[in-house]
Chains A and B, each alone.
Chain A
Amino acid sequence: MTPPFPFHGGLKTVRHKTESNRETILPGSVPERLVVPLRQHVGAIAKPLVQAGDRVLKGQMIGQPDGYVSAAVHAPTSGRVVAVDQQPVPHPSGLPDWCVTIESDGQDRWIERTPVDYQRMHPSDLRNFVRNAGVVGLGGAVFPSAVKMNLSGHCERLEQLILNGAECEPWMTCDDLIMRERAVEIVAGIHILAHLLQPREVLIGIEDDKPEAIAAMNAACSGTGYQVRPVPTRYPSGGAKQLTKLLTNKEAPVNGRSTDIGVQCFNVATAYTLHRAVAHGEPVISRIVTVTGHIAQPRNIDALLGSSFADLIARCGGYREGVERLIMGGPMMGFAMHSDGVPVTKATNCILAVGADALVEPPVMPCIRCGDCVEVCPANLLPQQLYWHARAKEFDKIQDYHLFSCIECGCCSYVCPSHIPLVQYYRYAKNEIWALEKEKQRAELARRRHQARMERLEREQREREAKLRQKAPPRTASPLDGATAGQSPAEPALAAPASIAVNVERSE
């Protein structure tokens, strides 16, 4: 068998790529006001380093990584911090999150940039540098790259390093454009990854509907030994697991990681930002965003993080008539925004305006057990079984069917002839299971604390009794004194005020 090795299931979806990939990347403008969320990555929220009134320079760290799985956040332009508070962010809940609001001074003045020589750096120093530069996976999952750049004993060295340029979601073209225009810098970023991970081969997977990107990457890779591998256009070939299967025919075990099979996968745009950080000392303060759909002039913008969706849409000529919904991400995996006032984050790969005509939602009918969802599931699951158990809220049974292997690609919902919102059920079930798990941990903590308190009260009671016995002259010098003392009528009355006194003493 020769590559590509097809994965199970998947779909031919509508493409809608040409709307936004005909024009070059539009350089971003500097808006007057930037709202920079401190949580733009998977893991712990960054700790704010600035407060209202502080002056910041472009590229200055304003949020410090908090722990191992975290990433830094930087000021996208120079100016003055006007607030560090909760602001609306792009999230399906519409709830606010901690953000740093910066008023631009119009000078766009950089902080001193210090490139590093990655070949001479200790690997752990380099990873720290990457974490402090705010480099995270720009495919949309925003997992801190520094964590993925550490094999941490899962394998000696990597078999295959995979660069993900598949970009299978309809409408989205930001990776296509970055590969066309910045291929040389992407390859420079791959050098850094290859230096750290020592892979036997480097494979760059690109869907075959992007001939210009494939040509550009081929040209940039000549002489490096990196292989550009076109893969058939089939959703969701851009899923890390699906692309790994396509290129290497390997699959990670259910509860394992990709490094267990010697594979690590990075998005092409991540490699680009890695190069900018290492070779130019520029942290991640912007990203390419596809603004498309029901928009006057759909195109890709190199937008500063913290610019509002409305700013970007205005730069693309504004909405066309009849926009009903604004989606962040693609139509398959994205989610609807509550307003266009939310800021661009590292996860914002695409802003999709949807018109009323595309939003016809047919009524949900009962499942007819046709099995179409099983045919298309790229994770080899039984979506129908998952659906029954999620609907019945049977959270232990649903895990027997590997709910957590579901990548929420939406293939099952797409083909369902009864229009059942299957993925919504899976998201609901996953959230409930996590919440129950957290609840259990809280209960366990409360149980331990209650037990510790009971033990302490008992100990204090014993100590008090011992003290009283010492003070009071023994009336009867019998060895049963301890047993009789508690029975004397005067004792409890004495003990009660003493208990308060001891407690007060202790708390003072």
Chain B
Amino acid sequence: MMMIVAIVALGALAGASGLLLGFAAIRFKIEGDPVVERIDALLPQTQCGQCGYVGCRSYAEAIAAGEADINQCPPGGQGGVAALADLLGRDPKPLDPELGPEKPKMVAVIDEQSCIGCTLCIQACPVDAILGAAKHMHTVIARECTGCELCLAPCPVDCIHMQPISPTITTWKWVYPAAEARAAA
């Protein structure tokens, strides 16, 4: 008798828990992969493809799937690797040197005198930051350029170059106190 009561009680408990968990799985279902979202949020969104994937999102998916390593994003730099390592609980490692060095932030500039209006750079820009029309001059919307350099190769007249972004009075920052830095080193 005791045994039957125990089996029934435990069975009922298991059934109730199962229903509850089943309900929760449907009710609180999370759309998409939250890990991919969080990795994507740490990437610089340059959309340059230096990692070997088409855009930052694909790279984030590859990292989440374990197909790509965390040190394949030169624009994100060593800081980006550290942030990814922190998120994923892995050991930080140096950037993969084969994929190119970490560079200062740059912006693409079109030499408007030489531009022939071929629209090839417009098609290459991953963020639609180049404005222009066929046989008309093109120009880069500097505010929206991510500095991915994807427009350089297609240009048949080599009229695009990368320019480092120099600090202005609004983007200037106080530097890390130098005297102390020396003392700490």
Residues of A in contact with B (beta carbons under 8 Å apart): 39, 89, 91-93, 95-97, 363-366, 391, 420-421, 424-425, 427-428, 430-432, 435, 439, 442-447, 449-454, 500, 503-504, 507-508
Please tell me which stretch of B5-13, B26-34, B156-164, B169-177 contacts chain A, meaning at least 4 of its Cβ atoms lie within 8 angstroms of it.
Answer: B169-177
Which residues in A have their C-beta under 8 angstroms from that of B126?
450, 453
CB pair B47–A450 under 8 Å, yes or no, is yes
CB pair A449–B173 under 8 Å, yes or no, is no
CB pair B169–A447 under 8 Å, yes or no, is no
A-B contact pairs, 15 of them (CB 8 A): A91-B169, A93-B167, A363-B183, A391-B184, A421-B177, A430-B174, A439-B44, A442-B146, A445-B144, A453-B126, A454-B55, A503-B122, A507-B134, A508-B133, A508-B134
CB pair B122–A507 under 8 Å, yes or no, is yes
Q: A445-B144, A446-B46, A446-B144 are known contacts. Are A364 and B173 too (CB-CB below 8 A)?
A: no
Residues of B in contact with A (beta carbons under 8 Å apart): 40, 43-47, 55-57, 119, 122-123, 126-129, 132-134, 144, 146, 167-169, 171-177, 179-180, 183-184
Shortest Cβ distance from A67 into chain B, in angstroms? 15
Which residues in B have their C-beta under 8 angstroms from that of A454?
55
CB pair A443–B168 under 8 Å, yes or no, is no
CB pair A95–B128 under 8 Å, yes or no, is no
In whole angstroms, what is the CA distance A184 to B184 when docked?
55
Which residues in A have their C-beta under 8 angstroms from that of B127?
446, 449-450, 453
Which residues in B have their C-beta under 8 angstroms from that of A451?
57
Which residues in B have their C-beta under 8 angstroms from that of A443?
43-45
Closest to A431 in B: B173
Which residues in B have their C-beta under 8 angstroms from that of A452?
128
In whole angstroms, what is the CA distance A11 to B70 when docked?
51
CB pair B45–A450 under 8 Å, yes or no, is yes
In whole angstroms, what is the CA distance A500 to B119 when docked?
9
Closest to B181 in A: A391
Q: A446-B144, A507-B119 are known contacts. Are A92 and B45 too (CB-CB below 8 A)?
A: no
Which residues in A have their C-beta under 8 angstroms from that of B122?
503, 507
Closest to A457 in B: B123
CB pair A504–B128 under 8 Å, yes or no, is no
Contact of B134 among A89, A424, A504 (CB under 8 A): A504
Which residues in B have their C-beta under 8 angstroms from that of A39?
169
Shortest Cβ distance from A360 into chain B, in angstroms? 14
CB pair A96–B169 under 8 Å, yes or no, is yes
Which residues in B have their C-beta under 8 angstroms from that of A428?
173-177
Shortest Cβ distance from B70 into chain A, in angstroms? 17
Contact of B174 among A364, A424, A447, A507 (CB under 8 A): A424
Contact of A97 among B133, B144, B169 (CB under 8 A): B169
CB pair A366–B179 under 8 Å, yes or no, is no
Which residues in A have their C-beta under 8 angstroms from that of B134?
504, 507-508
B45, B56, B167, B183 pick with most chain A CB within 10 angstroms: B45
Closest to A444 in B: B45
Which residues in A have their C-beta under 8 angstroms from that of B173?
428, 431-432, 435
In whole angstroms, what is the CA distance A449 to B57 when docked?
13
Contact of A449 among B43, B128, B184 (CB under 8 A): B128
CB pair A391–B144 under 8 Å, yes or no, is no
- 8 closest A-B pairs by CB: A431-B173, A443-B45, A446-B45, A449-B127, A93-B172, A427-B174, A424-B177, A447-B45
Known pairs A421-B179, A446-B127 / 6 extra A-B pairs, C-beta < 8 Å: A95-B168, A428-B173, A439-B44, A443-B44, A446-B46, A449-B128
CB pair B169–A93 under 8 Å, yes or no, is yes
In whole angstroms, what is the CA distance A232 to B164 when docked?
52
Contact of A95 among B119, B169, B174 (CB under 8 A): B169
In whole angstroms, what is the CA distance A96 to B175 when docked?
18
Shortest Cβ distance from A205 into chain B, in angstroms? 31
